[in-house]
Structure 1
Amino acid sequence: MNNKTETITISTHLGDVTGIKESNGSYFKGIPYGADTSGKNRWRAPQEPEPWSEPFDASSFGPQCPQFRMGEGGFRGSIAKAYGAEVPEEETPAESEDCLRLNVFCPVTNSKEKLPVMFWIHGGALRYGSGDPYLPEGILSKDIVMVSINYRLGELGYFAHPALKEEGNLPTTNFGLLDQIKALEWVQKNIENFGGDSSNVTIFGESAGGLSVGALLVSPL
């Protein structure tokens, strides 16, 4: 963040986070909701991150979870090719197993009440994608707080081997689904500090995100 950027700092159960304040709302990006999933945490339920003492810089998106790459233009490129359109240039985002991050977008509002929360789960066949590209300018024109998330993908997120289930003493090895539940727990603990109503959270998604919503609805966890 440069000195000219207007910032806003909010408290969470892990420590303060500092985001960007703009004319249409406040943006908090890349907030950790789970610990690094590499090493001993690989193919394990998401763990609680270590708290921090200094304000966390939430001005930019965190790394995406490791994922399948679709070649030139990525997913959007494949759609463009299908319709004979120009393939968009696409930078390759940073990837890391330390990817359990979420983003919170808060509108400018005159409301004295806590706002409804919309919890977005991205699509991508459970193999690619992230919560990063979704900047909800339209939603920020409404009195709604929006959350988008990253969750583990592909073999790191859905490697349902019986040995992993037994070794980790887990109810399921759908680690991506467990990540989504962990992020929802973060929302319950913290979203009131961002102006959201923790008792009024709507989960929604696109493609594999919609599938995830269905899985969450029937999950006993």
Structure 2
Amino acid sequence: MASVPTVTTELGALVGLAGDGVRRWRGIPYARPPVGELRWKAPRPPSLSGGVHVATEYGPHAMQAPDPMNPSAVCDEDCLYLNVCTPEGPVPEGGWPVLFWLHGGGYRVGHGEQLGDGEEFARAGIVVVTINYRLGSLGFLHLAGLFGEPEADAGVCGFLDQVEALKWVRRNISAFGGDPDRITVYGVSAGAKSVGNLMGSPLGTGLFAQAISSSGGADHVATPEAGTALARRLLDEVGCHDVEALRALPAKEFVEAQERILTGFQALWLWRPTLHPRVLPEVPIEPIRRGSAAGVSLLVGCNSNEGSTYALMLGDDVATAPASGVLNGILGDEGASRLLETYLRRVPDLKSAKIAAMGDERYGVPTQRLADAQSAYAAVYRYRIDIAAPGVPEQLDGGHGTETTMAWKTPLPLATQGSAVNPKRERAALLIHRSWVRFIRDGVADADGPEWPPYGPELRPVLVFREDTDLVLDPRSDERNAWGDTEWESGTWFPVT
């Protein structure tokens, strides 16, 4: 029988769980509950200190729309908790490397433990930290444009939560056997865009040594004008424009109101951090281009058909409805037409071309630009994933979010409903996990697959994970060139009425 693991932190003694080769501590508060007068305020240090505390149950998820796949999930405004999973056994000299995970969900939904505790990473000699952070209108409601400087942090609360959790980890992770100087921040989708924000924010400097960005970039922030317009729309929906009265309303009223504005997959990119003079002074890709994250090694990539997940969830017609407006707004009518003609060389019809282009607008192009920017200042390893997890229907090959269970080596319940497992895909999935482990532990991405050299804009080497994984130089260069160097403001695809 495994002994009960206990560690001493600034919060006091934390009692966790042990078994299956790992140790776990759950529901650790890294900040005070952001309720009452602390709603829409920067996180404050936790009040818990001294004594012995049982840390065996997850904390509540951030307030969000109900999850039909997990109807019993507990959501609460009191949500600023993290979880730690470590290897069993003696701690090596200097400690284990640390993986700090930021979940995805479009800043609207999600929670830290949605992929589990990270047991497979821990068994590979890595300390895994997963966190919850504020979401939606409770995490990213830009009130400064309506109520002035006292509400300056309201539009970046969720991002400040991530920074606060990282600070807590740096101060306390050595108690769990982790090395605070070997932290890798890792996120997917909104979590990956959060990684980009950390790389570009002055608040992220020195908090982590490496980064993994899966389907992200460093571009998804709102201007103060856009943030103010959305905040005004939300307050109109709530029916209250007094800031003190707003703090007294039940949290669920804000979730219900934001879901009336946009809901489901159409709402995934409505909420996002707003530019802030101290926190996010400019779109993060710009300071990254100037070296704000110099020395931070980066594993970065996306999937080959990100938009297919949206098409599956929304239907082709709904998913492609905003394409003309979005693409024409970025490239102009002629440029958008040339772009779709370029995609039509690879995909069978115009609808497929629009799905592919929209996926690249949100993930592919921002990923490319983040790789280009950071490669001037640190080692960068770039990948593309062309398959879904073994057993998942092939119609989701390369779809958004379909790689995470492979990277985490997490069994998928959906696999039992999918196609027969392909041994080549099983090997590719295992290689993905081993490559991530190697990067977190050693700072290089080579595992037991093809040679994987650092990325640079001259040759643009990309490791393409597929049934026959291979290194490809500048894949789909015609599509990359069709986008050109045009910059655009990243926002929601769907109109807010």
TM-score scaled by length of structure 2 = 0.39
CA contact (8 A) 1:43 1:164 kept: no
Q: Residue 138 of structure 1: SS of its match in structure 2?
A: helix
The answer (yes or no) to whether the contact 1:46–1:178 under 8 Å persists in 2 is: yes
Of Structure 1 and Structure 2, the greater strand share is in 1
Instruction: Please point out which of 137, 159, 170 is paired with 1:177.
Output: 159
1:179 and 1:173 map into 2 onto residues whose CA distance is 12
Q: Deviations over 1:124-157 (max 9, x none)?
A: 1101110123221211221110100000000000
> Superposition RMSD on alpha carbons, in Å?
1.8
Matched, 1:116 2:97: yes
Residue 111 (structure 2) aligns with: 130
Partner of 1:107: 87
CA distance in 1, matches of 2:20, 2:44: 36
Contact 2:85/2:119 (CA < 8 Å) preserved in 1?
no
**1:203 partnered with 2:185:** yes
**Superposition deviation, residue 106 in structure 1:** 0.4
- TM-score for the superposition, normalised by structure 1: 0.84
Is the 1:118–1:203 Cα contact (8 Å) retained in structure 2?
Answer: yes
Cα 1:164–1:112, aligned 2, differ >3 Å: closer, same or farther?
A: farther
Of residues 123, 129, 135 in structure 2, which corresponds to 1:141?
A: 123
Q: Does residue 97 of structure 1 match 2:77?
A: yes
Q: 2:117 touches 2:128 (CA, 8 Å); kept in 1? A: no
- Aligned residue type for 2:76: S
Q: Note closer, same or farther for the CA distance 1:68–1:139 as it changes in structure 2 (3 Å cut).
A: same
Residue identity over aligned pairs, in percent, reads 38
CA offset digits 1:172-219 (Å, max 9, x no partner): 731000000000000110001100000110000111111110011101
Cα separation, 1, equivalents of 2:5 and 2:37 = 35
Cα distance, 1:16 vs. partner? Answer: 1.4
Task: Give the drift of 1:6.
Answer: 4.1
Letter paired with 2:161: D
User: Could you tell me whether the CA contact under 8 Å between 2:16 and 2:25 is conserved in 1?
Assistant: yes
Match of 2:149 in 1: 166
- Residue pair 1:68, 1:154 contacting (<8 A) in 2 also: no
Residues paired across the two proteins, number: 200
Q: How far did 1:31 drift?
A: 0.1
What amino acid sits opposite 2:113 in the alignment?
Answer: D
Inter-partner Cα distance in structure 2 for 1:101 and 1:110 = 27
5+ residue gaps in structure 2?
204-497
Matched residue, 1:67: 64
Separation in structure 2 between the aligned mates of residue 111 and residue 6 of structure 1, nearest angstrom: 16
The structure with the largest alpha-carbon Rg is: 2
Structure 2 CA distance, aligned partners of 1:5 and 1:26? 9
Q: CA deviation at 1:69?
A: 2.8
Structure number having the greater helix percentage = 2
Give 1:51 deviation, angstroms. Answer: 2.6
- Structure 1 ranges of 4+ moved more than 6 A: none
* 1:190 and 2:172 matched: yes
**Which runs of no fewer than 5 residues in structure 1 stay unpaired?**
74-89
Q: Distance in 1 between matches of 2:57 and 2:177?
A: 21
Q: Which has the higher contact order (CA 8 A, sep 6+)?
A: 1
Whole-angstrom distance in 1 between the partners of 2:31 and 2:151: 17
